[in-house]
Amino acid sequence: MSKYGLIAKILRHHPEIFNVEMDEEGWVDVNQLVLAVSRQYDFSKEELEKIVETNSKQRYTFDETKTKIRANQGHSIEVDLKLKEAIPPAVLYHGTSTKAVVSISQSGILPMKRQYVHCSTDIQTAAHIGKRHGKSFVYQIDAKAMHEDGFSFYLSDNQIWLTKAVPVKYLSPVIKKEKAIDSFPTLKTSRLILRRCTLKDVTSLFELRSQHQLHEYTDTIPDKTPKDTKDYILRMNQGIDQKKMDIVGD
């Protein structure tokens, strides 16, 4: 475990294991935290201050005197962060792994080992979070409908939206759109070149497509004339140009 992981474990999950006292609002004494981390790493209060100031996720906060510190969210232990209810955006997102999809489709999104379900305001952040647990899967949350139905939302100090749970009826999967093919690629190996067909290929391609063996295991039929082959090439290229690959073929 890195020093960063150790800090998170102490401030979010198990301060007692490291002889660190935490109050009901999640605050711990800075000197106690530094001492606990120093038992395993070369660590100082100055380094802790730098971590808090430069962390892109703003996971931790000092009190006004900088003598106490706490995690802004993500606790698996019961703490009262004194979060105030807030009106959420109309739509929020939650990133998870594909392994969790089956259980979520039955029970909705639950906080599991944490106090709250964490929600993001954009798909990219949610997808990044989901990757921590495996192949990412993102849900869209109808936060507006949830709020109107009486569900409470909270905004943490580091701008993470939190709620106790998200029932199935407020969820919809975010379908990832594959990047469109801008051009038909040319693939080369030592023995062949795979490229887009042109009308210059009609004669040679007709020799292949007119053979019954080529169609033996498909529901297509042999080309009877070069015109059939020409029409095939035109249909195939139209499908590529219109990015409708399902129309390519016989």
pLDDT band at 247 (very low <50, low <70, confident <90, very high): very low
Q: Distance of CA 74 to CAs 59, 79, 119, Å?
A: 9, 10, 12
Domain of 29, in residue numbers:
3-71
> 178 lies in a domain?
no
**Mean per-residue pLDDT for 216-239?**
86
pLDDT value of position 250: 45
Question: How many contiguous H segments (helices) and E segments (strands) does the chain have?
Answer: 8, 11
| pLDDT over 50 at 249, yes or no | no
**Mean per-residue pLDDT for 101-121?**
91
Q: Are residues 114 and 45 in the same domain?
A: no
pLDDT value of position 239: 75
| pLDDT over 90 at 227, yes or no | yes
pLDDT band at 144 (very low <50, low <70, confident <90, very high): very high
pLDDT value of position 165: 95
Q: Are residues 101 and 60 in the same domain?
A: no
User: What distance in Å separates the CA atoms of residue 116 and residue 113, rounded to the nearest whole number?
Assistant: 9
> 205 lies in a domain?
yes
Q: Are residues 7 and 55 in the same domain?
A: yes
Per-residue pLDDT reduced to its tens digit, 150-184: 999 999 887 889 999 999 999 999 976 545 445 66
pLDDT value of position 248: 38
Which value, in Å, is the radius of gyration of the alpha carbons in the chain? 29
Q: Are residues 66 and 97 in the same domain?
A: no
Q: Are residues 106 and 62 in the same domain?
A: no
Per-residue pLDDT reduced to its tens digit, 31-83: 999 999 999 999 999 999 999 988 767 889 899 899 999 998 888 888 888 88
Q: State percent of the chain over pLDDT 90.
A: 54
**Mean per-residue pLDDT for 138-158?**
93
pLDDT value of position 79: 83
> 84 lies in a domain?
no
Q: Are residues 117 and 57 in the same domain?
A: no
Domain-ending residue, one of 41, 71, 101: 71
pLDDT value of position 180: 47
pLDDT value of position 55: 79
Q: Are residues 165 and 226 in the same domain?
A: no
Average pLDDT value for the chain: 87
Q: Which has more confidence, 113 or 116?
A: 116
* Of the candidates 22, 187, 173, the residue with the CA atom closest to the CA atom of residue 100: 173
Domain-ending residue, one of 21, 40, 71: 71
Domain-ending residue, one of 173, 204, 224: 173
pLDDT value of position 196: 86
> 79 lies in a domain?
no
Domain tally, the chain: 3
Q: Are residues 141 and 204 in the same domain?
A: no
Q: Which has more confidence, 85 or 80?
A: 85
Exposure string of 161-199, with b = 16+ CB inside 10 Å and e = fewer, is: bbbeebeeebbeebeeeeeeeeeeeeeeeeeeeeeebee
- What SS3 state is found at 30? helix
> 36 lies in a domain?
yes
**Mean per-residue pLDDT for 73-101?**
89
pLDDT value of position 246: 44
